[in-house]
Every structure is written in structure tokens, then in C-alpha cells.
Amino acid sequence: MKATPKPTTPKVVEKVKPKTETKPKVDYDKLCDDNKLSNKYNSAELSNSEKTKLMKATYFFVLCVAAFLFSVAAAAQTPQFPIVKGFGGIFEIPDATERPDGTLEYKILVDLTSPSEDPKQISRFVDNVARMMNLHGLAGVTQDRIKVKVVLHGGGIFTLLNDENYKKKYEVDNPNLAVFEALEEAGAEILVCGQSLIARNLKTADLWPGVTIAHSALTTITTYSMKGYIVLKF
């Protein structure tokens, strides 16, 4: 006969109550106590090398902010045209300590040989003559105290072509003529090298009518240098 199995008593499983974590009480008074608050940036706890790095980083940050504010201020300015109207726009620099002297008479001969980089746009070299005059004007040099002569030769003479001949060469009207007219109105004299005209098979009739024909650029430079003009190469 098979033995009858003894009945088993079921185990009673005790329910374990989950432990509730108690958050530590924050002592806000202690945190706000500057004497007890640990600050790793406190200079008393920094080594000399760490202090130096922190000072350099702070100095660099201040410079970046200053440069940014200066660029924003410059960008916010409106270009000014004190002598040559409508061309050669320039900006006031309030912090500049090196400035032209309004009591002097400026005599300047511009030796312009550079061709236009983009014939469809105003040559930056021609416009730079206007900028140069306006920069002096903004700093207090009156129009009657700045004497400017511009002699063009080499590749620069093509900026003087009248619209008809400029269009034949570049398929657009000459955008530089308006600048030359503004320069002339502001008192500048525009000259062209006669030798350069012959070398490029050009005639006086091919040019802007306001230009003066010079014997040569070389002799114009030497002559006006003897008369006290300084020479700027554009």
C-alpha cells in the first residue's frame, strides 16, 4: 500500500512594509551664512596659478564684451560725407586720439594706377579718394584747407572712360563718373597721364570731359612733390 502523504501547512508570507526614506532637513539659515558657506572660487582657497587663470579669463571676457559693444556702436552709425557728397562714406571714431590737425593745410597728390576689380561697380580705389577727403573733413579739416590732385595712369585710366566708350569695353555705363564729378565739386583736380593714353590708343574725346590731360604721371608727381604735395599710392 502507498503511504498517504501528510498534509502540508501553507507558509505565511509576511508583508514587508517599504522603507520610507526621510529627506534630510535643509538648514537654510546655515546655507545663507556666508561665514559657513564653502565657495571653491573664494580667492583664499585658490592657488596662485588658479588665481592667474581666473584673472586672465575675466580680462579676456571683458575685452570681448567691449569689442562687441564697439562693433555694435560702429554698425549703428550712419555713414557721413562732410566734403565729397554721396561717396566715400566714413564714420566718427569717438575714442580716436590720433586725428588730423584742422589748423594745417593738407596738400595731397594721389597716384592712382589700380584698375577696377569689378567694372560694373565703383572702383574702390576711386572711392577711396573720396574717403580720404571725407576723413579729413570729419576730423575738422575744412574743404578750403585740403588740396587734392589725382593723377591716373596704367590700368586706372579706364575708370575715366566716358559712358559710350566704357560701355563698348564693359557693356555697362561707367559707374565711376559720378564719383569723379563729386570729387571735382569738392575741389579735387583729376588728371590723366598723356603717355598712358597713347600706349592704350585712347584720345581725349574718349574720356570724361572733366579730366585734365597731363604730360605724364611721372612728371606730375615730381612737379607737385617739389611744391609740397605728399604722394599717396592707390
Q: For position 77, what pLDDT does the model report? A: 83
Q: For position 201, what pLDDT does the model report? A: 98
pLDDT interval class at 53 (50, 70, 90): low
Q: For position 69, what pLDDT does the model report? A: 62
* pLDDT exceeds cutoff 70 at 81: yes
Dmax over CA atoms of the chain, in Å, equals 145
Instruction: Give the whole-angstrom CA distance, residue 47 versus residue 205.
Output: 79
Grid cell for residue 223: 612737379
Identify the burial level of 146 via C-beta atoms within 10 angstroms of its C-beta, where 0-12 means exposed, 13-18 middle and 19 or more buried.
buried
Tell me the whole-structure pTM to 2 decimals: 0.69
Instruction: Give the whole-angstrom CA distance, residue 147 versus residue 7.
Output: 126
CB 131 within 8 A of CB 172: no
* pLDDT exceeds cutoff 50 at 36: no
Instruction: Give the CB-side neighbour count of residue 34, counting CA atoms within 13 A.
Output: 1
Higher pLDDT, 62 or 146: 146
Q: For position 8, what pLDDT does the model report? A: 58
Instruction: Give the whole-angstrom CA distance, residue 84 versus residue 75.
Output: 21
Q: Would residue 19 count as lying in a domain?
A: no
Q: Would residue 9 count as lying in a domain?
A: no
Q: Would residue 7 count as lying in a domain?
A: no
Q: What is the CATH number of the domain that holds 184?
A: 3.40.1260.10
Q: Would residue 64 count as lying in a domain?
A: no
Residue 228, sorted as left (phi over 0), alpha (psi -120 to 50) or beta, turns out to be left
Of the candidates 39, 43, 38, 66, the one whose C-alpha atom is nearest the C-alpha of residue 53 is 43
* pLDDT exceeds cutoff 90 at 25: no
Residue numbers of the domain that contains 201: 108-233
Q: Would residue 145 count as lying in a domain?
A: yes
Starting from the edge strand earliest in sequence, which strands make up the sheet with 106-112, in order?
A: 212-214, 189-193, 146-152, 106-112, 230-233
Q: What is the mean pLDDT of residues 184-204?
A: 98
Q: What is the mean pLDDT of residues 211-232?
A: 98
Number of domains in the chain: 1
Q: Would residue 11 count as lying in a domain?
A: no
Instruction: Give the whole-angstrom CA distance, residue 68 versus residue 155.
Output: 39
Grid cell for residue 80: 557721413
Q: Would residue 78 count as lying in a domain?
A: no
- Segment 82-139, tens digit of pLDDT: 999 999 999 999 999 999 999 999 999 999 999 999 999 999 999 999 999 999 999 9
* pLDDT exceeds cutoff 70 at 206: yes
CB 169 within 8 A of CB 158: yes
